[in-house]
A and B are shown apart, each in its own frame.
Chain A
Amino acid sequence: DTGVSQNPRHKITKRGQNVTFRCDPISEHNRLYWYRQTLGQGPEFLTYFQNEAQLEKSRLLSDRFSAERPKGSFSTLEIQRTEQGDSAMYLCASSQSAGELFFGEGSRLTVL
């Protein structure tokens, strides 16, 4: 297991298009998190799954954002009708219960 894997690593899209990011957590981890990081800021919490259940969504996550974790394994984060303000690094992390979070390398979104 090479750790948390995220794809694609970089996505450039035009405003108004939809994008989807995928996260494959460490296989035995039951928790999965999405964070967003913009330039000069620390990571900001977006949402969290315990197995397949999405237990919290930050108010940062507008209606254009949706995240899923079918079967409690990989997760997808979809952004509809992208805006320039969505440009950021989207980080995925996983953990076994309340243990240490392991982060992926991130998916960088650039909205033109």
Chain B
Amino acid sequence: AQRVTQPEKLLSVFKGAPVELKCNYSYSGSPELFWYVQYSRQRLQLLLRHISRESIKGFTADLNKGETSFHLKKPFAQEEDSAMYYCALRSGGSNYKLTFGKGTLLTVNP
């Protein structure tokens, strides 16, 4: 069975500080990993995916297969980054079903 764990329910940082949202997964095959974000009163939307290896809004995430992690990082947090962040996994054999973590609520204080 596949599982996604986000150990922090809440994360609070000050503007300009680095931020790291942790995500660990368990899956025996080759997964696809994603980060989704939900800003206040907005719908859930894709932030980035590991296969793209891109930086979106200053965020990056590297898939570490040895540690089965896909942590989301940003060197300098901004107030507008405050949101709910969900890590999600899609198995290679099932290219339609996403398994989500429980989410981390990030608050960036001024």
Contacts and interface: CB of A to CB of B under 8 A. Distances in A.
- Which residue, of B96, B97, B99, has the highest number of chain A Cβ atoms within 10 A? B96
Interface in A89-112: 91, 98, 100-106
B25 to A, nearest CB: 13
Nearest to B42: A105
| A: contact size bracket | 20 to 34
A25 to B, nearest CB: 13
B40 interface: no
Contacts, number: 42
A43 B95 contact: no
Given A40-B102, A42-B103, A56 B43 contact: no
Interface string B75-104: 000000000001010000001111111110
Given A48-B96, A56-B97, A41 B46 contact: no
13 contacts: A4-B43, A41-B102, A42-B4, A42-B102, A45-B97, A48-B96, A55-B96, A56-B97, A100-B46, A101-B98, A102-B45, A104-B43, A106-B43
Given A42-B101, A100-B46, A101-B98, 12 more contacts: A4-B43, A41-B102, A43-B44, A44-B100, A45-B98, A45-B99, A48-B96, A48-B97, A98-B95, A102-B45, A103-B44, A104-B43
